Amino acid sequence: MDYSFTTKTPFANFGVRMQDDMVVALHYVDDKLSIAPSNPIDKTIAKQIQAYSHNSAAPLNLPIRLEGTPFQQKVWRALQKIPVGKVLTYGALAERLSTSARAVGNACRRNPVLLVVPCHRVVAVSGIGGFAGQTGGKWVQMKRRLLAHEGIRYR
């Protein structure tokens, strides 16, 4: 994927893809990738991501465009309503949306704008659950780090 710029945080290096001054993708990228923000909007977005990475109460009011199916967008809007420092289980969110936990998990897996659409705040009933389509390894460790940053400790 072609990124407009990257911004390195204590959690990860993030690649940001912009389209018409809107964030359309915010992903974890290789630490070696470095693309400087080139305009005032990009710089403002990078500053907000940096601010959140140092203080979870810092708002992420990024201009985003969510591209996905109507169902995915419904899940992503619901995820944005989960406050910092709180979690929901896949099942609880599914119940709110009259769907299945698996469908919620699949929509989370396809989240194009990490952090802003906080899929890390959705956990399994029996533990932390998966992250970015993975059930172990560096992605689940990242989910743990993000939750800990927001004051939530998970085993």
Residues 125-136 have pLDDT tens digits of 998 998 888 888
Task: Write the pLDDT tens digit of every residue in 43-90.
Answer: 999 999 999 999 999 999 999 999 999 999 999 999 999 999 999 999
Is the pLDDT at 11 greater than 90? The verdict is: no
What is the domain-level CATH number for residue 133? Answer: 1.10.10.10
Asked if 103 and 130 sit in the same domain, the reply is yes
Neighbouring C-beta atoms of residue 155, cutoff 10 Å: 5
Asked if 145 and 74 sit in the same domain, the reply is yes
Task: Write the pLDDT tens digit of every residue in 71-82.
Answer: 999 999 999 999
Neighbouring C-beta atoms of residue 139, cutoff 10 Å: 16
Say how many residues make up the chain: 155
**Among the options 79, 119, 142, 152, which is catalytic?**
119
Asked if 42 and 80 sit in the same domain, the reply is no
Is the pLDDT at 108 greater than 80? The verdict is: yes
Helix axes 101-109, 90-97, angle to 10 degrees: 100
- Residue 114 sits at the vertex; the CA angle it makes with 108 and 117, to the nearest 5 degrees, is 65
Domain with 45 in it: 5-54
Neighbouring C-beta atoms of residue 14, cutoff 10 Å: 24
137 pLDDT tier (thresholds 50, 70, 90): confident
Q: Is 31 contained in some domain?
A: yes
Catalytic residue flag (residue 108) = no
Q: Is 64 contained in some domain?
A: no
Asked if 13 and 41 sit in the same domain, the reply is yes
Q: Using an 8 Å Cβ cutoff, are 44 and 4 in contact?
A: no
Q: Give me the number of domains the chain comprises.
A: 2
